[in-house]
Structure 1
Amino acid sequence: MTVAGPYPHLGFDPAPGSTDLVRDVHHRLSDCAREMEKAHAKVTRLMNGSYWEGDAAVAFRAQLEGGPLPLNLRNGARSVAKAAGQLDLWAGELEEFQRRARKLDGEAAEAREALRRARGHAAQHTAREDLDDVLKRARTLAGEHEETARRRARHIGDATHRLAPHEPSAWDEFTDWLGDNLPDVLSACAAVLGVIALLGLTAVAPWMLFLAAGLLSGAAFGLRVSDPEVLSSLKDGFTKGELDIDFWSNLLGVAGDFLGMLPGLGAVAKGAMKAPELLAATAGPAGEAEGVLTLGQRIAKARVRAGTSIRTVGVSIRTEAAAAEGAVSLLSHPRVLGGRLAPIVEKVDRPATILGAGTAVYGVASSLAGALDNGTAKTVTNFLDGPRTLGVDVPATAGALHFLLRGAGEAS
């Protein structure tokens, strides 16, 4: 027996729900999260004192100092964004469930038609089994739909937990802090690895630290450029002229991470491209013809080839990374003012590297200790990082890339 509905031949709805409604709510929540993020960014700038000055600004900050508004805006934006993300996932899952339900409904229609036309006892028995199998799969689909819906609802509930006032645990506070400052933490770790490699404070090969620092810088860069607050600050600075402390901090952070990841990325890319050439040069004679080998011998040979290829790629990347790590700054190149800047660059390189690590670590420490987080400290940090980035990091990155692109002979 069939009933009216979206799946009349199944007799029930194994995937109830409206994807249009879910997507509409998702869009509304996403818009809400973006507006809350913008509000949090503006309140943060006002609280920092670099965006608004005067008696009114002092009175405004006095009212908000120690209050819950900035924290609630930040937590609220994150909670709503997470809830929106879960709804987006559910919309896709619901669409797939309903696609499967329509397919099963079509199979059920065919099975019911076959059952109606069956004349013999054996034919009727077979047609009934086919219909029962379709209905069984539809009930399984309904169970999957319900389980997934419950899981998404639970995740939405977890996401909105921070919307209600509660006393966070020490672990919650740590994870919140890490989530807020992860790009700075990764950048600081990359800078510290650079100091360790420079001073030889570990037995780990410098090229390994070089690649690790590049990986950390790349991760930090990705997090920064995907942060709406960072993008909003940079956009306001370039389009509206709001060149406040946050703008310079974000600009230097993005630029520093971008420069930090380029040499490592270039070394990996060049090493991977050169690996086939090295593999071909070191390959031995073909040996036995493939046609006379057994299946087991072919599998073993394929494994050996794969292992050799992986090792060759690793050696090639290591070679390029070691070369790039030791490449001189572009300012030391003989073609730049006849290489007369080389002695200066050599003297400046080490203290500049240590200074970069120091300001990066200070930035992380200031996020932990409120007493260290103030406008004057940020201004001094930006003042130190700006010239260092332009005068040391940019030429050093250019030198490493020049080395990778043009070869050791021309770059030395």
Structure 2
Amino acid sequence: MTGADPYPHLGFDPAPGDMDLVRDIHRKLSDCAVEMEKAHSKVTRLMNGSYWEGDAAVAFREQLRGGPLPLNLKNGAHSVDKAAKQLDLWGAELEEFQRRAKKLDGEAKAARDALQRAQGHADKVKETSGRPGTGHVHDDGGSALGKANSRVETAQGELDGVLKRARSLAGEHEDTARRRARHISDATHKLAPHEPNAWDMFTDWVGDNLPDILSACAAVLGVIALLGLTAVAPWMLFLAAGLLSGMAFGLRVSDPEVLASLEDGLTKGELDIDFWCNLLGVAGDFLGMLPGLGAVAKGSYIGLRSLGESGELLSLAAEGVEVLTTGQKLARLGTNAGTSLKTVGTSIRSEAAAAGGAASLLAHSRVFGGRLAPIVEKIDKPATILGAGTAVYGVTSSCADTLDNDAAKTVSNLLDGPRTLGIDVPATMGALHFLLRGAGEAT
């Protein structure tokens, strides 16, 4: 904001910033990212010989091959786009800060007016009480002057409270601005002419694609368990896949870019490729997490319940009555703790193994009479392998420019969408039905 003081009644600006300037820079950065991406796409097609042939084309490609231009264009577009998105988030936050500051300025005006009225009233009362013949009452608790001064103190306290909230808002604004500035600075790490080494490039790639990497690892573990390609018990792979899916789900739902994409798609109808990729990613990780989480919860409950019924949890209390040395008590405590953990672990293993082999909801007798069970059995294994294949392809495409395109993402979405709705959702519901029914019987 420029010109006159935007918050005259606060006496300072708790939310400095020019919204028009922020919007203008965001628009320019977004346009720049789009142009850099177009340039990268054109250079890539030239390198691949898509639409330029002949000696000149060969010479051009020889000059570019192995050079930094394609990578710098790709990294530059990615970095500028990340910076633009961070600036867009800051614009929304700044707008909210300034809205709150405007409201506080209005409250400060009302508080100052009330203080001015109270002070004027107190001055009149003081002047009147000092005149001859009016009396000199100095009882602070009941005199008119005491009440007037009390009103002044109350009004001053209300104004101080408003100013305190404004200073708190200023601190919040500064912290948020610093965080956004740090994110924008971090976004430029991939910009040319920076030339990160192999380790920096690898860590950047892992950081940018960690949710997809975790999801792909979970999908591969599911294939390994299904095909029995390792000596590791399937229930361990089942729990490991659920843990990886849970971590990926947490990363996705905590990513502002993912949330913004989903919000725009659901509220504004912007159903682009990114929206469907994010939606299927979040849904797939959520479905992959639930059975493993349910198996751990149910197994822990059953294990602890069995310990309580057998009296092992009460053994320490009984032993506390005995005259034991400290060493003996510690030894027995360790033995009981080990036994308890083993019992709970056995229950979790049993529930995980059973949940991992639970029948799909489509095989339930109440769902079309269970007539879909043969179909589910035939397509379950290919669908699991297909899911792992599309997940691995998604991770691989982030490394290879030729694989990272909208056509490939569209095909992956068309394969993953029906598979998620037709296979993953019924399979997850079947596992949860088994776990909940068993939990109900256990209670």
- TM-score, L = length of structure 2: 0.59
1:71 aligned onto 2:83: no
Shift of 1:290: 2.6
**Aligned twin of 1:305:** 336
Which of 255, 279, 288 is the aligned partner of 2:307?
279
2:267 maps to 1:239: yes
The gaps in structure 2 that reach 5 residues or longer are 1-11, 39-69, 89-177
Q: Deviations 1:198-232 (Å, cap 9, x if unpaired)?
A: 00000000000000000000111111111121111
CA contact (8 A) 2:262 2:278 kept: yes
Per-residue Cα deviation, 1:174-209 (whole angstroms, up to 9, x for no partner): 111111111111100000000000000000000000
Taking only aligned residues, the RMSD between alpha carbons, in angstroms, comes to 4.0
Q: CA offsets per residue over residues 27-85 of structure 1, 9 Å max, x none?
A: 99xxx8xx97996699579959xxxxxxxxxxxxxxx993665233256579999xxxx
What letter corresponds to residue 312 of structure 1 in structure 2? T
**Which of 413, 426, 434 is matched with 1:395 structurally?**
426
- Matched with 2:323 is 292
Q: Could you tell me which runs of 5 or more consecutive residues in structure 1 were left unpaired when the two chains were aligned.
A: 1-20, 49-63, 82-151
> What is the aligned partner in structure 1 of residue 398 from structure 2?
367
> Hey, what does 2:362 align to over in structure 1?
331
- The answer to whether the Cα contact below 8 Å between 2:79 and 2:187 also exists between their aligned partners in 1 is no
Q: Does 1:344 align with 2:371?
A: no
**Counterpart mapping for 1:13-412 below 5 A:** 43=33, 66=73, 69-73=76-80, 76=83, 162=189, 165-283=193-311, 286=315, 290-407=321-438
Contact 2:287-2:424 within 8 A present in 1 as well: yes
Residue 334 of structure 1: how far off its partner (Å): 1.2
Query: Does the 8 A contact of 1:188 with 1:361 survive in 2?
Result: yes
> CA separation of 1:282/1:44 partners in 2, compared to 1, >3 Å: closer, same or farther?
farther
Change in 2 beyond 3 A, CA 1:180/1:288: closer
Given residue 354 of structure 2, which amino acid in structure 1 is its aligned partner?
A
- Structure 2 vs 1, CA of residues 37 and 369 (structure 1 numbering), >3 Å: closer, same or farther? farther
Q: Which has the higher contact order (CA 8 A, sep 6+)?
A: 1
- Report the 3-state secondary structure (helix = DSSP H, G, I; strand = E; otherwise coil) of the residue aligned with 2:215: helix
Q: Is the 8 A contact 1:267 1:404 kept in 2?
A: yes
SS at 1:70's partner residue? helix
Distance in 1, Cα, partners of 2:397 & 2:367: 39
How many angstroms apart in 2 are the aligned matches of 1:218 and 1:374? 28
Higher Cα Rg, which structure:
2
Quickly say closer, same or farther: Cα 1:360–1:313, change in 2 above 3 A. Answer: same
The CA distance in 2 between the partners of 1:276 and 1:43, in whole Å, is 56
User: Which string of whole-angstrom CA distances, capped at 9 and with x for unpartnered residues, describes residues 219-275 of structure 1?
Assistant: 111111111211111111111111111111110000000000000011111111112
TM-score by length of 1: 0.64
**Cα gap change, 1:68/1:398 in structure 2, threshold over 3 Å: closer, same or farther?**
closer
Answer whether contact 1:330 1:398 (CA < 8 A) is retained: yes
- 1:312 CA drift (Å): 1.5
Map of 1:93 onto structure 2: none
Instruction: Give how far 1:280 is off.
Output: 2.8
Q: Which residue of 2 aligns with 1:4?
A: none
CA distance in 2 between partners of 1:238 and 1:45 (Å): 28
Q: Is the 8 A contact 1:214 1:264 kept in 2?
A: yes
Letter aligned with residue 186 of structure 1? L
| Structure 1 residues 174 and 375, CA gap change in structure 2 (3 angstroms) | same
Q: Which string of whole-angstrom CA distances, capped at 9 and with x for unpartnered residues, describes residues 148-167 of structure 1? A: xxxx9xxx799598378421
Give the superposition deviation at 1:374. Answer: 1.1
Distance in 2, matches of 1:276 and 1:175, equals 42
Q: Secondary structure at the match of 2:229?
A: coil
